[in-house]
């Protein structure tokens, strides 16, 4: 009689360990979730490009792939992309293994050696928005950082996949939707400080590139024509999600954005207002991933603490006045 009891105990102890190991496997695939196009394939050719003068230097390459199964997006015509990495020792790329490749525009953002199990996990992740993962075989969204404002109990359900922690649906943009992020020039440019890259305000643009009407589930509206940007876009800094201020306005009346063929909508988002970001001392480039649905666009500006610290304090004070 004791044997079944002992077996049950062993199994109970083994399940959490196995689940934790499976969760770690999904975390290894996390870079794929912010790629617009994901496919399984092999490297056909690698061509070395220029090496930067920084320390450590940036090594650049030109990859030619043999794309196979598509996991997200449309199959590339040529499978030729650029790749760069900052490292002291240049990497070596093996052309024998099968890879899961994630690309944005013409750049490789994820290159992962993958077996059959990895590919199956990648397929599950590709059904989710950028920054999401799977834990305990359940979807988990980066919107958990928004706490109670991540998703209301009365919010519209537009997807069967829900974040296990917040209840937020897995809202996607869909094929044919372009996501663009541009630096906004500084209002008061100072030479050698903010005259080239601005003060942390970025213009985001969603465009329907198809020939028909498109429903963009990942971009939410208030149901009256107003776009809820803070409830649609996340700022990712070094892999950590940060919501823009002003969110928590999704209601039962909220609807997905609808765009006519070729139509675009834009907004300006100020990263200085985002809470929880660790800003550098002195001067340094700050890189950001702006995430909406499965789309992710990277941009940067040069942060000077002497210039942008007081600017950030003033912007936060102004934004919180009257609250």
- The model's pLDDT over 99-126, given as tens digits with 9 standing for 90+, comes to 999 998 889 989 999 999 999 999 999 9
Rg over CA atoms, the chain: 22
SS3 helix, strand, coil % of the chain, rounded to 5?
25, 40, 40
- Return d(Cα 211, Cα 209) in angstroms, integer: 7
Mean pLDDT, rounded, for 294-310: 94
pLDDT digits (tens, 9 = 90+) for 262-293: 999 999 999 999 999 999 999 999 999 999 99
- pLDDT-derived band at 3 (thresholds 50, 70, 90) equals very low
- Return d(Cα 265, Cα 228) in angstroms, integer: 12
pTM: 0.84
pLDDT digits (tens, 9 = 90+) for 221-263: 999 989 999 999 999 998 899 999 999 999 999 999 999 999 9
- Return d(Cα 155, Cα 247) in angstroms, integer: 13
Cross-strand partners of 3: none
pLDDT of residue 322: 56
DSSP assignment letter at 203: E
pLDDT digits (tens, 9 = 90+) for 141-171: 999 999 999 999 888 877 889 999 999 999 9
pLDDT digits (tens, 9 = 90+) for 50-86: 998 878 888 999 999 988 899 988 887 777 899 988 8
pLDDT of residue 114: 92
Domains and CATH numbers, the chain: 31-126 (2.40.50), 177-320 (2.60.40)
DSSP per position, 15-59: HHHHHHHHHHHHHHTGGGGG-SEEEEEEEEEEEEEEE-SSSSPEE
Kindly list the distances between the CA atom of residue 256 and the CA atoms of 74, 89, 102, 171, in Å, as whole numbers in the listed order: 23, 47, 26, 9
């Amino acid at each position: 009689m004791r044997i079944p009891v002992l077996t049950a105990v062993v199994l109970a102890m083994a399940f959490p360990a196995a689940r934790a190991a499976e969760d770690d496997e999904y975390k290894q695939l996390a870079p794929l979730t912010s790629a617009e196009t994901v496919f399984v394939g092999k490297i056909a050719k690698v061509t070395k490009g220029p090496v930067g003068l920084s320390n450590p230097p940036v090594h650049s390459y030109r990859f030619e792939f043999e794309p196979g199964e598509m996991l997200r997006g449309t199959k590339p015509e040529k499978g030729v992309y650029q790749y760069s990495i900052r490292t002291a020792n240049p990497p070596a790329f093996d052309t024998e293994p099968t890879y899961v490749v994630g690309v944005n525009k013409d750049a490789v953002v994820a290159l992962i050696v993958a077996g059959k199990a990895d590919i199956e996990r990648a397929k599950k992740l590709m059904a989710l928005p950028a920054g999401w993962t799977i834990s305990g075989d359940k979807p988990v969204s980066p919107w958990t950082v928004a706490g109670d404002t991540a998703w209301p109990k009365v919010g519209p359900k537009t997807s069967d996949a829900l974040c296990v922690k917040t209840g937020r649906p897995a809202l996607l943009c869909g094929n044919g939707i372009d996501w663009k992020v541009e630096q906004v020039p500084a209002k008061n440019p100072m030479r050698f400080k903010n005259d080239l890259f601005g003060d942390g305000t970025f213009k985001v643009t969603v465009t329907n590139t198809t020939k028909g009407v498109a429903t963009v589930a990942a971009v939410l509206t208030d149901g009256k024509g107003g776009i809820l940007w803070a409830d649609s876009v996340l700022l990712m800094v070094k892999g950590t999600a940060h919501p823009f201020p002003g969110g928590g306005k999704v209601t039962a009346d909220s609807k997905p954005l609808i765009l006519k063929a070729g139509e675009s909508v834009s907004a300006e988002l100020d990263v200085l207002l985002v809470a929880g970001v660790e800003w550098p001392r002195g001067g340094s480039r700050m890189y950001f991933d702006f995430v909406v649905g499965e789309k992710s666009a990277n941009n940067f500006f040069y942060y000077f603490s002497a210039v942008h610290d007081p600017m950030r304090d003033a912007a936060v004070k102004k934004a919180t006045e009257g609250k």
